[in-house]
Each structure stands twice: as structure tokens, then as C-alpha cells.
Amino acid sequence: MTSDLLSLKGVNKAFGPVHVLHDIDFSVRPGEVVALVGDNGAGKSTMVKCIAGINPIDTGVIRFDGDEVHLHGPKDAARLGIEVVYQDLALADNLDIVQNMYLGRERGTAWYLDEATMETEARRTLASLSVRTINSVRQPVSTLSGGQRQTVAIAKSVLWDSKVILLDEPTAALGVAQTRQVLDLVRRLAEQGLGVVLISHNLGDVFEVADRIAVLYLGRLVAQLPVSDVSQHQVVELITSGRSGDLGLARPETAAISGL
């Protein structure tokens, strides 16, 4: 059994009187795609921001490569090898692909940008991911399709020797062909040994590309199990009510009996 690359144990997060995350136990292993699903307001964004170092956790433990870590900001997470591709992609339309991939992390000095090295590394990264839909790394991002933009954003996260990549709704608003390209890319990330966390509302995509599914319901992680052990119908029930048969939260009558 491969050890966890990233794990959360007993993580809690509150904003004032609002308790958003309750005792979260979560993990992702190298070479694995874990889908994080849940309804709006379930706590997915807060959980991602805790992993990314944006929101400090209140209690609990975050481990990376087996060591307990304390994330005081996004730079701490990035230094470990944790990258997040947000839904808005954070790409600059007026810059080309190379400039976007190195935005804020340019190679060179204050007086000279090493454009040749940056272009070479950008090409190498795209080639390593078997990206064939981009003609030139000097294309302005404004000329790219939605699928190509998503590809650039993911490649940008891989460029920095990442170990864990969190993808926030990577196929939202994409057509069928573009969705296929992005899902293929997600699998290639896992095949290269990265741990991938896929946040998605599209259960078709989840069941096609994920190895495990983690379901959040009102800030509680009610299930985390292999895709092969659960049906889409069960996942929908877990998302909407927190339980499905024997999965998820205990039924009120069961909880009452166990508390006697």
C-alpha cells in the first residue's frame, strides 16, 4: 500500500460562530485521483483553501509526505509542492503561454529575462503531459479555447515540480471535446505519480477519471471510498442527505441507540 502523500486528520475550521469544517479526515496518495464532491456550501472551497495555506486550520493535523506541516500562507504550500488550479484559471489574456506559465516566477535577473530557458521549459512541460492541442507556446492566451486555457493552467502548476495538484471544476463550461482533453490530462498527471484532487459537480467526469470519491456534507466528510465500491445514485444521496444506506452519517435512531 502506497503511503499518503497528503493527509488531513481531525481538521476543523470556523469563521466566527460558523463552524465550516468538522473533524475532516482526508488523504491522497501518489498516482491517485481523488474526487472531492459536495453540494454548494458543503465546505469544499474552505477545505481546498486550508490545503493551499490560504485559510489556517483551527485544530487538527496536516501531513505531507508523512511529516506534520504548518501552512502559514500559499507560499508554504507551494514550497512543499502543492498547487491549486482555480476555476477562474488566473491567466492573463494579454500575455502568451510562456509568460503566463512563469508569471510571478520569471527566470533571469532584474535586468534580463531568460526567455529562451523559459520557452524551452514550457515546451518540455507541455510535451511531458502529451499536450498536442497547442500550436505555439508564444500564442497569446486570448486566442486559446476554454480547453486549451485549462491545459495551460494545469501545465503551469506542473512546471514547479508539484506533488499534489488540486483542480477546481476543471471541466466547467467546456464542450465535449475539450472536456475529453482535460480528463485525459488529469489521468496523465496521476500516471506521472502526482496526487490529484478533483473538485467537481459532474459525476460523469468523476466516475470516469477518479480512483476514489470523498463526499462532503455540511462540512463533514461523510464518505471516502473507491469509485468501484459506490454508484452514482449513492453518491447523489450522500451529497444531498449525508447518507445512503449504510454509508455516510448514522441514522438518528441508530445514533440514539449507540448513545445509550
The cell numbers describing 187, all together, are 489521468
Distances (CA, A) of 145 to 97, 133, 142, 173, 218: 13, 10, 8, 11, 35
**Rounded-to-integer distance, Cα 225 and Cα 218, Å:** 18
Task: Detail the DSSP E strand segments found in 65-114.
Answer: 67-69, 82-85
Instruction: Write down the pLDDT at residue 86.
Output: 84
Distances (CA, A) of 127 to 70, 159, 188, 201, 257: 34, 11, 12, 29, 58
pLDDT in tens, the chain (260 residues): 468 999 999 999 999 999 999 999 999 999 999 999 999 999 999 999 999 999 999 999 999 999 999 999 999 999 999 999 987 777 899 999 999 999 888 888 878 889 999 999 999 998 888 888 888 999 999 999 888 888 898 888 888 889 999 999 888 877 888 888 889 999 999 999 999 999 999 999 999 999 999 999 999 999 999 999 999 999 999 999 999 989 988 766 544 444 44
State the amino acid at position 136 in one-letter form.
S
**Rounded-to-integer distance, Cα 228 and Cα 230, Å:** 6
Task: Please give the backbone phi and psi of residue 247, each rounded to the nearest 5 degrees, phi first.
Answer: -90, 150
Instruction: Write down the pLDDT at residue 230.
Output: 95
Q: How many CB atoms lie within 10 A of CB 3?
A: 11
- Counting beta carbons within 10 angstroms of the beta carbon of residue 134, is it exposed (0 to 12), middle (13 to 18) or buried (19 or more)? middle
- Given a contact cutoff of 8 angstroms between Cβ atoms, the answer to whether 89 and 157 are in contact is no
The cell numbers describing 143, all together, are 486566442
Helix (H, G, I), strand (E, B) or coil at 256: helix
Distances (CA, A) of 6 to 69, 74, 183: 10, 16, 22
Domain ranges of the chain: 6-89+163-258
Instruction: Write down the pLDDT at residue 255.
Output: 47
Instruction: Write down the pLDDT at residue 2.
Output: 63
**Rounded-to-integer distance, Cα 21 and Cα 11, Å:** 7
**CATH class of segment(s) 6-89+163-258:** alpha beta
